[in-house]
């Protein structure tokens, strides 16, 4: 089953990728690797999710925000590659959580994105990962996630 079929089964329609807000590109390729810039938690309603996880945003809500961010990353992949079935595997995910002091559930939050990648790519969606907490993120958003993917030769 291809990625497009899995997305349809999940009821996910990929949005148009957000345009970079500064001087960078959303995807940069070298050889078979594609590096995806950090993406934001934009929900299906088009609204950016903001707040501090562990203070005014629950772990469950932040996990959903990470899933929204994963959908944004998939949209960038689709736009850059033309076909998600060109993805051989998700290599690395780097997740940043705007977290309250003492918050310690970063991994549980970023699982929202990681789980999505496994749902869409199957075994090839399993990846290495870093999940960290920061006191602030651009525009006050809750989550930012970047990824590295490998393409079929």
CATH code at 104? 3.30.1330.40
Per-residue pLDDT 10s for the chain (153 aa) are: 899 999 999 999 999 998 888 999 999 999 999 999 999 999 999 999 999 999 999 999 999 999 999 999 999 999 999 999 999 999 999 999 999 999 999 999 999 999 999 999 999 999 999 999 999 999 999 999 999 999 998
- Report CA 49 to chain centroid distance, whole Å: 13
Task: Flag whether 25 is in a domain.
Answer: no
Task: Flag whether 64 is in a domain.
Answer: yes
What residues make up the domain containing 142? 3-14+31-151
State pTM to two decimals. 0.97
> Tell me, what DSSP letter sits at residue 150?
E
Asked if 73 and 41 touch (Cβ cutoff 8 Å), the reply is no
d(CA 48, CA 62): 12
Tokens (6 digits) for 92: 């690395």
Closest CA to 131 of 91, 92, 95, 93: 95
């Amino acid at each position: 089953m291809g990625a497009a079929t899995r997305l349809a089964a999940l009821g996910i329609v990929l949005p148009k990728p957000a345009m970079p807000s500064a001087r960078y590109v959303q995807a940069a390729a070298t050889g078979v690797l594609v590096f995806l810039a950090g993406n934001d938690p934009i929900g299906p309603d088009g609204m950016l999710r903001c707040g501090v996880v562990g203070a005014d945003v629950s772990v469950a809500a932040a996990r959903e925000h990470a899933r929204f961010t994963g959908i944004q990353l998939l949209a960038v992949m689709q736009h850059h590659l033309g076909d998600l079935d060109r993805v051989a595997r998700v290599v690395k995910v780097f997740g940043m959580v705007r977290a309250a002091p003492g918050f310690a559930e970063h991994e549980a939050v970023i699982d929202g994105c990681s789980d999505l990648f496994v749902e869409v790519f199957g075994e090839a969606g399993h990846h290495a990962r870093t999940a960290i907490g920061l006191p602030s993120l651009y525009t006050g958003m809750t989550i930012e996630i970047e990824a590295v993917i490998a393409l079929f030769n």
